[in-house]
Amino acid sequence: MALLAVVVVGGALGLFLFEPGTAEPDPVHFDDTVDTGVVLETEYDDRDIDIPKAQVFYSQYEYVVGYRGVERFVDATQQPGHDDRFGYPLAVYVSDYSEVEFELTGSGYPVAEGTVGWTDAETATFVVGSEARTPAGETVMAFSDRADAETFAADYGGDVTTWETVLETDFDVDDATAVQGQVDDRHELADEHVANARTLHERPVEVVVGEDADSITEAVDIAPANSTIVVPEGTYEEHVTVDRPVTITGEGTATIEGDGSGTVVYVDDERAAITDLEITGVGESFFDEDDESDDALEMAYGSGDAGIEVNGTSNALIENVTIETPSNGVLLRDTPETVVRNVTVYGADHWSDGYMGVLTMRTEDNVVENSRFVDGRDGLYTHRSNGLVYRNNELENNRIGIHLMYTSGVVLADNTVTDAASSGIDIMTDPEHNAVVGNEVTGASEGLLTAGSDSYVADNVLTDNDVGMTTGAENSRYEGNVIAGNVEGVQANQLLPTSQVVDNDFVDNHNHANARLGVLRIWTEDGSGNYWDGAVGSTDGDVLDRAFTPTHPVDQRVHRVDATPTLARAPVVDALGGLDGTVSGMRDGQIVDTHPHCEPANPELLETTDWEATADDCSAYLPSESAR
């Protein structure tokens, strides 16, 4: 039987045909592969450095897979379930540095003069452990001529070895499992940032508005560095610029009211704090027409009026502040290690008339916690801002609750998103190493959308959404989530089936899961799958003896139609189910759980929803006496 290999070419489908046993396929252009691996963002792209690559033709996968980083392919082959999803490699080609002049940059990145070609991995010679690097770390260099490999190792170190040895090597790849292990560390680092920021409350009081100065602006002008300005209860009609490291704190109901144009409080010095205030009278502009940024997205999303703007500084604190705004609530530009906590932002009643609750632009290691964002466009919006921790926030009636753009290394934890018009949590534009844990999303068009790679999505509760979750982030781990009462529980929309989806609970969704692209996905790991309300089978342990395929015309209805469980047990249906994943013509759009749980894997989380009573326990699936 012919194997049809289909690759995406410029948004269209190009076809590569290969007859196993007759001839090996020729390598294709890397842009014509379904690619994965090192993400080149901002500073570098494929024109700047020549990352060693691999492209693989698999026996059970209809696309040519391209790996940015030979070590990424090796690590992938060592992951549980890899062979089930892809089969075995029919041919592997790697970047050939024998046929091109190249050098390593000061950072160890390979840069070639001309185009790096391809060579068969089985006959190539490799150098492991050299000075060669990618932005993700150590990389493997390949050469068609062993003498070239030995020369490279003499110049840059490393061991010269064969393909068989490379395949047995353990590489330190920062994948989803590593992200899982880093969540507690990231919380601890966020705790340190918060503790450091809250020391700004301890500054001595040097100026009291109304006693020592007639206005807040005058108070800032005369306050010593590292002192506190007290703003007594009342309304102060002014715009304030904070250009020194001071703390401005209100007493009672102290309100700074702008004149309806521009930003009300502007901060541009380190370790400034704005606390215990109400801010109104914010301007309505969403972007600064005078912004000369070369990045259209930064110009459109990273400027405009705000209740508070912190720009080009660090270690600021915004705490116990309430903002009413038709545009941005808090705008943070280039402000590392800034903390926003116990803040409430009320945006425009309809999202199309408002903007962002907190907007971060080109910043790192910020913390937003224990805050509330009502109405407006996006509750929390980020752009090229890495290492953030957003936790314990409430987001209500936004367009998008939490919206990440070009943002990696983020922890989104224990946030509650309610009635988002579009997405509850939307992670876009090829990010990596994000952790989304313990969040609740209800009443959204799409609950949790993921993209990019190497992320950890766990312990989230997604209910009453049109779509509960997508598995758009490849090489990622989705576990311990409760997905209940949605129209569609999960959309599997990543072309590469490289993620683990295990120990999740699917309860009373109209359709538990749907696969939008034509590849097989096996959602089982080490003999453990997921809980599917309505799954059919029997058990004398923790898993059912019948595989469950939520994309199968019968299995997708078993929890909705009384007679369907009987049909699902029919021999002909079981026989067809056994062919899923073995016959290429029956693979399109399939999800198979080979070892479904007989009861929920996350009962405590399920108890927090309205669907606990819908779920079965394993006693409902015990074999009958006649079957034993």
- Per-residue pLDDT of 263-290, as tens digits, reads 999 999 999 999 999 999 999 988 766 6
Of all residues in the chain, the percent with pLDDT exceeding 70 is 87
Q: What are phi and psi of 553, to 5 degrees?
A: -55, -30
Sign of CA dihedral 169, 179, 483, 467: negative
Q: How far apart are CA 618 and CA 146, in angstroms?
A: 59
The stretch 151-176 carries a mean pLDDT of 93
Are the beta carbons of 81 and 522 closer than 8 angstroms?
yes
Residues 483-521: pLDDT tens digits? 999 999 999 988 788 889 999 999 999 999 998 765 678
Does residue 101 carry a pLDDT above 50? yes
Q: Which two tokens stand for residue 617?
A: 């326990």
pLDDT band at 566 (very low <50, low <70, confident <90, very high): low
Q: By the 8 A CB rule, do 515 and 521 touch? A: yes
Q: Which two tokens stand for residue 307?
A: 């209740």
Average of pLDDT values for 392-404?
A: 98
User: What confidence score (pLDDT) does residue 82 get?
Assistant: 83
Residue 137: pLDDT band (50, 70, 90) is confident
CB-neighbour burial class of residue 240 (10 A; exposed 0-12, middle 13-18, buried 19+): buried
Residue 520: Cβ-neighbour burial (10 angstroms; 0-12, 13-18, 19+)? buried
| Pairwise pLDDT comparison (373 vs 13), residue with the higher score | 373
Lowest mean pLDDT among 50-54, 336-340, 575-579, 620-624: 575-579
Task: State the pLDDT confidence band at 22, using cuts at 50, 70 and 90.
Answer: very low
Question: Given this model, what pLDDT does residue 622 score?
Answer: 74
Query: Taking 90 as the threshold, does the pLDDT of residue 314 lie above it?
Result: yes
Q: Kindly tell me if the per-residue pLDDT of 237 is higher than 90.
A: yes
Range in 12-21, 312-321, 337-346, 537-546 with the lowest mean pLDDT: 12-21
Length of the chain: 628
Alpha-carbon distance of 470 to 581, in angstroms, equals 22
Q: State residue 121's pLDDT score.
A: 97
In this predicted structure, the answer to whether residue 605 has a pLDDT above a threshold of 70 is yes
Residue 579 has pLDDT above 80, yes or no: no
| pTM tops 0.95 | no
Q: Is the pLDDT of residue 341 over 80?
A: yes
Give me the pLDDT at residue 563, please.
Answer: 45
How far is 525 from 26, CA to CA, in rounded Å?
A: 33
Give the separation between CA 132 and CA 141, rounded to whole angstroms. Answer: 8
CA atoms of 355 and 296, how far apart (whole Å): 17
- The torsion angles phi and psi of 424, rounded to 5 degrees, stand at -70, -55
Q: Are 515 and 591 in contact (CB under 8 A)?
A: yes
pLDDT for res 159: 96
Query: Are the beta carbons of 337 and 358 closer than 8 angstroms?
Result: no
- Kindly list the strands in the beta sheet with 125-128, ordered across the sheet, starting from the edge strand earlier in the chain: 141-143, 125-128, 159-161
3-state secondary structure of 159: strand
Alpha helices in 199-249 (DSSP H): 216-222
DSSP string spanning 316-361?
Answer: -EEEEEEEE-SSEEEEEES-TT-EEES-EEE--SSGGG--EEEEEE
pLDDT of residue 582: 45
Residue 224 to residue 7: CA distance in whole angstroms:
64
Q: What pLDDT digit, counting tens, does each position of 415-471 carry?
A: 999 999 999 999 998 899 999 999 999 999 999 999 988 999 999 999 999 999 999
411, 187 in Cβ contact below 8 A?
yes
**What pLDDT, on a 0 to 100 scale, did the predictor assign at position 295?**
64
Q: What is the pLDDT of residue 36?
A: 83
CB atoms within 10 A of CB 558: 24
pLDDT category, 585, cuts 50, 70, 90? Answer: very low
Average per-residue pLDDT for the chain: 88
Give the integer Cα–Cα distance in Å for 628 and 620: 15
Q: Is 100 a residue whose pLDDT tops 80?
A: yes
The Cα–Cα gap between 267 and 555 comes to 58
Q: How many CB atoms lie within 10 A of CB 360?
A: 30
Residue pLDDT, tens place only, 166-178: 999 999 887 888 8
- Strand 12-18 vs strand 3-9: parallel, antiparallel, or unpaired? antiparallel
Name the phi and psi angles at 183, rounded to 5: -60, -50
Residue 180 pLDDT = 92
- The predicted pLDDT at position 8 comes to 32
Letter for the amino acid at 299? M
Mean pLDDT of 569-591: 51
pLDDT (0 to 100) of residue 625: 42
Degrees to nearest 5, angle at CA 209 with 206 and 214: 125
Q: What is residue 541's predicted lDDT score, i.e. its pLDDT?
A: 87
Cα 311 from Cα 151, distance rounded (Å):
50
Reported as a single tens digit per residue, the pLDDT across 522-535 is 899 889 999 999 99
CA–CA gap between residue 430 and residue 417 (Å, rounded): 23
18's CB contacts (< 8 A; 6+ apart) are: 2, 3, 5, 25, 57, 90
Domain boundaries, the chain: 30-169
